[in-house]
Amino acid sequence: MTGYGFDFDGQRLEARPSGALFWPARRWLIVADLHLGKSERMARRGGALLPPYEVQATLDRLTAEVAATDPETIVSLGDGFDDDAAAGSLPDQVCARLSAMAARRRWLWISGNHDPGRIDARLPGTGCDQIREGLVLRHQAGAGPDVSGHFHPCIRLAGQRRRCFLIGADHLILPAFGAYTGGLACDDPALTELVPEGIAVACGTRALPLPAGRTARRPARPRHDRA
């Protein structure tokens, strides 16, 4: 796995091929939009009964990232849970897995629009609205420079849609890390407004940088999946 190193807001950062962001100077591992419990929430609301393995799949990938980077702090950049009830009904063994991952590390849960409430008592770590420690971390981009998630940016590369980082002058936007998450094309006006010009880093087996923004020529893509 080869990451992509870059500077943002005076800090050296690494876009990991998995979609996680690593901050080597502080050994922070930052992931956005885990949306844990998404399939449970859909079922609860009378929707389709999706394969209930997305928590397991997401945690498998996160475990691999934690093992690879040995972070001091893990940050969930909001929408860690598909809703507060989903956080409350996570099976005990999932909570145990999260706790094991968090052992000897700090875990910070930034709240997002899907999970505005308090962090469930069975989960490790603490909740907060945003973090200002050398970098500004929040769920949704505000006054830059900041690091955020929320939009699930995607880019088309060689006929395939891939999750991607968007790196602009004012905003660094992370792809969704969760297994069942749709995406928003990075040339959607909502994103080009935040990053008019910059670099998209496509995730996959390698992190591949591409030009992004209004001037980059790409076929137009469908819009955000809020399902």
Partner 1 sequence: MTLPGAFRDWFARQGWQPHPHQIALLAAQGDTLLIAPTGGGKTLAGFLPSLVALREPPGGLHTLYVSPLKALTADIARNLARPVADLGLKVRIEDRTGDTRPAQRARQRVDPPDILLTTPESLALMLSYEQAPAIFGGLRRVVLDELHALAENKRGDQLMLCLARLKALSPGLLATGLSATVENPAALADFMGGAAIIHADPGPDPDIAMLPTARPAPWAGGGGHHAIPEVLEQVKAARTTIIFINTRAQAELFFQALWAANEDNLPIGLHHGSLAREARQRVEAAMAAGALRAVVATGSLDLGIDWGAVDLVIQVGAPKNVKRLVQRIGRANHRYNAPSRARIVPANRFEVIECVAALEAVAERDLDGDPRGPGPLDVLCQHIGLTACAGPFDAEALFREVREAGPYRGLTRADFDACLDFAATGGYALRAYDRWQRLMLRDGLWRLRDPRAARNLRMNVGTIVEAEMLKVRLRGRGGAPLGEVEEAFAASLSPGDTFLIGGQTVRYDGLREMVVEVTRQPARQPRIAVFSGVKLATSTQLSHRVQALIGEPSHHAALPPDTRDWLDLQARIGGLPRDGVLVSESFPYQGRWHFALYGFAGRNALQTLGLLMTRTMEDAGLGPLGFLSTDYALLIWSLDPVRDPAPLLDRAALRAGLGDWLAGNAVMKRTFRNVAVIAGLIQRNLPGSRKSGKQATFSSDILYDTLRRYDPDHLLLRITADEARRGLVDFDRIEEMLDRSSRHDHRVLDRVTPLAAPLLLEVGRVPIAGQGRERLAEAEAAALMAEAGLA
**Which of 100-108, 130-138, 193-201, 216-224 is the region at the interface with partner 1 (rule: CB under 8 A)?**
216-224
The amino acid at residue 60 is D
How far apart are CB 213 and partner 1 at their closest, in Å? 17
Which residue(s) pair with 36 in the sheet? 81
190 binds partner 1 (CB under 8 A): no
Q: What whole-number distance in Å separates Cα of residue 201 and Cα of residue 203?
A: 6
Location of structure tokens 């992190």:
207
Minimum CB distance to partner 1 smaller for 49 or for 121:
49
Alpha-carbon separation of residue 47 from 38, 39, 50, 114, 135 (angstroms): 11, 9, 9, 18, 39
Q: How far is the CB of 215 from partner 1 (least distance, A)?
A: 14
**Residue 84 binds partner 1, judged by CB under 8 A:** no
**How many helices and strands (H and E) does the chain possess?**
5, 16
Q: How far apart are CA 15 and CA 168, in angstroms?
A: 14
Contact with partner 1 (CB under 8 A) among 44, 105, 106, 122: 44
Which position among 54, 65, 82, 83 is part of the footprint of partner 1 (CB under 8 A)?
54
Instruction: Look at the block and give the residue holding tokens 């790196």.
Output: 167
Minimum distance of partner 1 from residue 130's CB (angstroms): 29
Q: Which residues bind partner 1 (CB under 8 A)?
A: 39-40, 43-54, 56-57, 156, 159, 161, 179-180, 182-183, 217, 219-223, 225-227
